[in-house]
Chains A and B, each alone.
Chain A
Amino acid sequence: MRRIISVLMENEPGSLSRVVGLFSQRGYNIDTLTVAPTEDQTLSRLTMTTHGNDQVIEQITKHLNKLIDVVKVVDLTEGPHIERELMLLKVRASDAQRAEIKRCVDIFRGQIIDVNTNAYTVQIVGNSDKLDAFIQAVGDADILELVRSGVSGLARGEKSLRL
């Protein structure tokens, strides 16, 4: 099953490599990964999506907790949560295609953030399924370049991952 795991860890050199190393060392999967410092500069927040059976996921969260630099770990998929991913893509857009692509971007509530004669650069934000659906909708043939941020997320309500 797909899981979103969120980790609060010391913002130290080497912390990220310990997390990534853990996954390769133990044969776990990382599907997406995002990491950046939080409002408290001494802490980083890392969000990853992974998949595996319950036993594997349990081991993943336990091993993450065991890393000395890791302060807290939460599996967001265990409760109600919000997830978002940012995608930027450059699509070929000349003459006849332009209107069609613009309509598509509007339907997905995205934005065209750069324009030239032959291409649009589009920004879409949403959960990963929505991003996948957009890619389907524009069709692979028209995509010149694509970058996705990986998933970020928070638990719904007042629950928060903090010290």
Chain B
Amino acid sequence: MELLSGGDIVVRALKDAGVKHIWGYPGGAALHIYDALFKQQDVQHILVRHEQAAVHAADGHSRSTGEVGAVLVTSGPGATNAITGIATAYMDSIPMVVISGQVPREKIGGDAFQETDMVGISRPIVKHSFLVTDAKDIASVIAKAFYIAGTGRPGPVVVDIPKDVTDPNHRVPYEYPEKIKIRSYQPTTKGHSGQIKRAIKTLLAAKRPVIYSGGGVVLGEASSQLTELAKLLNVPVTNTLMGLGAYPGTDRQFLGMLGMHGTYEANAAMHHADVILAVGARFDDRVTNTPNKFCPSAKIIHIDVDPTSISKTVAIDIPIVGPCDAVLQEMIAQVERSSSQLDETAIAEWWTQIDEWRDRHGIYSKPRHAPSEGNIIKPQDVIKTLFKVTNGDAYVTSDVGQHQMFAAQYYLFDKPRRWINSGGLGTMGFGLPAAMGVQLAHPDAAVACVTGEGSIQMCIQELSTCTQYGLPVKIINLNNQALGMVRQWQDMQYSSRYSSSLYEDSLPDFVKLAESYGHVGIRVTHFDELEEKMAECFSLKDRVVFMDICVDRSEHVYPMHVAPGSMRDMWLSKTERT
């Protein structure tokens, strides 16, 4: 057997786990590993400018490919800087392995220089974590980490490695396990067939059914099965913020996103449904509005790979624990075999009702916001223009705020893994580094980062990483000169007292800022020039382009749930309520 040092083993095991790119930042406790990286070509390290960005980039890689992301940071501040990224990945169940350097074993617990209890600090925000105490365990721990991160309900796994364990002068036999078996971890591989039978019976008896699907369908690669089942039954589909793209956004059966900023038709359909088929969704508070007013007449079927998601906030009538793809496949087979069918007249009436809702309050049947004109550019129109210029086929990452909701509402994703945003944690600063991860994984694709002047400044330093590695992302900055979403809440709930949501003329000139990193900056102040400049932006295929678009600051995101309330209780504009 080959003898390798701990540092070399880390890198070799990463390679054997299938890693081609690892995002990170060096420091004392990780230097043996960095030296091992230097000596080989198989695993490319990408040096970010802040560890948070390394984690978001690996996260973007994972969300856009389905692969397990990889991150390397040093101990202490390197590890703590990674925490926001890890929490972001955890909340959205994104598979990744974060390797952190640690102080040497004999120094652990002694408040050594750059010592932080990484396993302790990260514990509530990881799927699992390891502290490696022996060089001969490194390979098997890394193999287990990748296996745990990527199977069942995915999530981030931390591997903390003390510096002396990676000592270049201490060699041990290297062996990467071919198969992994963990006696205490056996993710479910199929759903209970009796439950599936019950679910089909309930579903086929429905008169007003809705499919409510979430990020689990994207993560579980179940998008084609979901689409097939919905088509087979001619049932309406709504997606959560995390599920966008899992069902084609431009399809007639798609009602749009549901929840706090969902469409009226999606939320009304949920409210009036008699049967809801929830797939890979978790009844988040941004979806349900007030839980005890949630969908009063619905029987709920819930498919999820994670049993803890079931009946967590809303009681479920028919739970099915299992991977979404396998369960949906079985459901399709049972529907095809079934002697009973949905009541066609009832379904036709249901569609008539839904079309009436679409017509009355829907944001797609006609614009509900005032038109853009002259130097008033409505943020919604920026997203519509982005959709048009990129033929609806870009990878779109987003930051957090109004721009995120506008992107979710107006960019209609037809494919999964195209819409990449921090839904669970809502992390400002996610967009740019995530876009870098997407771009590196898809070098020829158009990658747009929809952001706001607030969010972009939380990881703006990554413009430098884009320069170093030639990552030609397109930054679409919806510059409303305000922490817009905060401002919106202050308008609605605090009589427009803008406590710390404005910058008082302190914003940088983003065009010059982009140029100083060697990128192209384009400012848009008039609606007439928007489309043309956006087209120019995307024609510069190998350049980073920072589009600074001055949008109407007074615009609010609508529809919006009225809280507390039921799904259908919504503000439709500043003055209009359902």
Contacts and interface: CB of A to CB of B under 8 A. Distances in A.
- Whether A and B are associated in the same complex: the answer reads yes
Interface of A: 9-10, 13-14, 17-18, 21, 25, 55, 58-59, 62-63, 65-66, 68-71, 163
Contact of A163 (B131, B182, B183, B312): B183
B131 A17 contact: no
B391 interface: no
Contacts of A59: 308, 312
A63 B124 contact: no
A71 B308 contact: no
Contact of B308 (A9, A10, A63): A63
Given A21-B123, A21-B124, A10 B184 contact: yes
Contacts of A9: 184
Interface in B85-142: 119-120, 123-124, 127-129, 131
B311 interface: yes
Contacts of A18: 123
Given A10-B184, A14-B119, A68 B124 contact: no
Nearest to B315: A55
A89 B414 CA distance: 70
B290 to A, nearest CB: 17
A55 B183 CA distance: 28
A68 B127 contact: yes
B503 interface: no
Given A10-B184, A21-B123, A68 B128 contact: yes
A9 B183 CA distance: 10
Interface in B281-308: 306-308
Interface string B543-568: 00000000000000000000000000
Given A21-B124, A55-B315, 17 more contacts: A9-B184, A10-B184, A14-B119, A14-B131, A17-B123, A18-B123, A21-B123, A25-B124, A55-B311, A62-B307, A66-B308, A68-B127, A68-B128, A68-B184, A69-B184, A70-B184, A163-B183
B312 to A, nearest CB: 7
Most chain-B CB neighbours within 10 Å: which of A13, A17, A66, A68?
A68
A103 B183 CA distance: 51
Interface of B: 119-120, 123-124, 127-129, 131, 148, 182-185, 306-308, 311-312, 315
A63 B312 CA distance: 11
B182 A65 contact: no
Contacts of A70: 184
Contacts, number: 35
B422 to A, nearest CB: 20
Most chain-A CB neighbours within 10 Å: which of B128, B184, B311?
B184
B311 A17 contact: no
B547 to A, nearest CB: 41
Nearest to B124: A25
B148 A68 contact: yes
Contacts of B127: 68
Given A10-B184, A68-B182, A163-B183, A62 B148 contact: no
Contacts of A65: 307
21 contacts: A9-B184, A10-B184, A14-B119, A14-B129, A17-B120, A21-B123, A21-B124, A25-B124, A59-B308, A62-B308, A63-B308, A66-B307, A66-B308, A68-B127, A68-B128, A68-B148, A68-B182, A68-B185, A71-B183, A71-B184, A163-B183
Nearest to B153: A66
Contacts of A63: 308
A155 B119 CA distance: 35
B181 to A, nearest CB: 13
Nearest to B310: A62
Contacts of B148: 68
Contacts of A66: 306-308
A9 B185 CA distance: 11
B118 to A, nearest CB: 12
Contacts of B315: 55
Nearest to B309: A62
A67 to B, nearest CB: 8
A55 B120 CA distance: 28
A62 B305 CA distance: 12
Contacts of B311: 55, 58
A17 to B, nearest CB: 7
A63 B127 CA distance: 12
A59 to B, nearest CB: 6
Contacts of A25: 124
Most chain-B CB neighbours within 10 Å: which of A9, A14, A69, A71?
A14
A71 to B, nearest CB: 4
A25 B119 CA distance: 15
A17 B119 CA distance: 10
A57 to B, nearest CB: 12
Contacts of A69: 184
Instruction: Give me the 9 closest cross-chain CB pairs, A-B, nearest first.
Output: A68-B128, A71-B184, A62-B308, A25-B124, A62-B307, A68-B185, A21-B123, A63-B308, A66-B308
A95 B349 CA distance: 90
Contacts of A13: 131
Nearest to B129: A14
A12 B537 CA distance: 54
A9 B182 CA distance: 12
A70 B184 CA distance: 6
A17 B124 CA distance: 10
B323 to A, nearest CB: 16
Contacts of B184: 9-10, 68-71
Contacts of A14: 119, 129, 131
A10 B183 CA distance: 9
Most chain-B CB neighbours within 10 Å: which of A21, A58, A62, A65?
A62
A162 B425 CA distance: 38
A70 B315 CA distance: 26
A127 B405 CA distance: 56
Contacts of A58: 311
A18 to B, nearest CB: 7
